[in-house]
Amino acid sequence: TQTTWVYELAEPTSTYLITLQIGRYESIRLPKSPVPMSAALPQRLIRNFEYDFGRQPQMMQLFIRLFGPYPLSSGYSVVVTDDDLEIPLEAQGVSIFGANHCDGRRSAERLIAHEMAHQWFGNSVTVRRWRDIWLHEGFACYAEWLWAEESGWRTADQLAAHNLQKLRNLPQNLLLADPGPEDMFDDRVYKRGALTLHALRRAIGDANFFALLRDWTTRYRHSTAVTDDFTGLAANYTDQSLRGLWTAWLYTTELPAL
């Protein structure tokens, strides 16, 4: 006897975002979420999960408010594997975490926010060329800071100052607009990308900044984009020239001041 399983995704999906997760998992649904949310995880981790991932519905609510509607009709799931994973990973409509990210101390909440934000930045709006990877990782990292602010842990301002200081102690030989294949997922791409967005937010103000993000996710929904698309769109949200800001943050290796 033979069983054929058919999986269907309603929205356009990049091939790198397809994943198949198989394990001895329990399936649970998360209550009180603005979009359907579920999880698949080993029975032994359910207790930790309910605490560690318990604020995902609020996170989802915040991101919908700031980034626009959740891009997928099928909801959002997380898988927690029985093994530890070095880092979690996003896929289409699902994020995969390791057992170590479910330790009962909420120590991975930053990463939970990061992976969820990829559903907008990376999965729905996808880079056309890998050199523009900051459009995924810088944005997802900035979403971590936005959640930190919302949850009352740290303000985005505090996290920006802290991370800028940390970057100053690292080699300043990375070009954010084209980090090269070796440094594509270097942590400096994440942090400098987030700092670039924070600098932009300061320059154009909160109302314009978040309107721009929603315009970005709407205009390039289920589509691909490059850095010039973002800087071009940003120009609609201010009367001042942003050229100096982009040159300093994207096209120069040395770190500017915030």
State how beta strands 89-91 and 76-80 pair. Answer: unpaired
Look-up of token digits 């990973």: 89
Residues found near Zn ion in the complex (CB under 5 A): 137, 140
Closest CB to Zn ion among 59 and 245? Answer: 59
How many C-beta atoms surround the C-beta of residue 49 within 10 A? 21
- What DSSP line would sit under 7-39, residue for residue? ---SS---GGG-----SS-EEEE-SS-SS-EEE
Closest CB to Zn ion among 109 and 137? Answer: 137
For the bound state, the minimum distance from the C-beta of residue 8 to Zn ion, rounded and expressed in Å, comes to: 26
For the bound state, the minimum distance from the C-beta of residue 15 to Zn ion, rounded and expressed in Å, comes to: 17
Closest CB to Zn ion among 91 and 140? Answer: 140
Q: How many helices (H) and strands (E) does the chain have?
A: 9, 7
For the bound state, the minimum distance from the C-beta of residue 89 to Zn ion, rounded and expressed in Å, comes to: 8
Strands (E), the chain: 26-29, 37-41, 76-80, 89-91, 94-97, 125-127, 223-225
For the bound state, the minimum distance from the C-beta of residue 112 to Zn ion, rounded and expressed in Å, comes to: 12
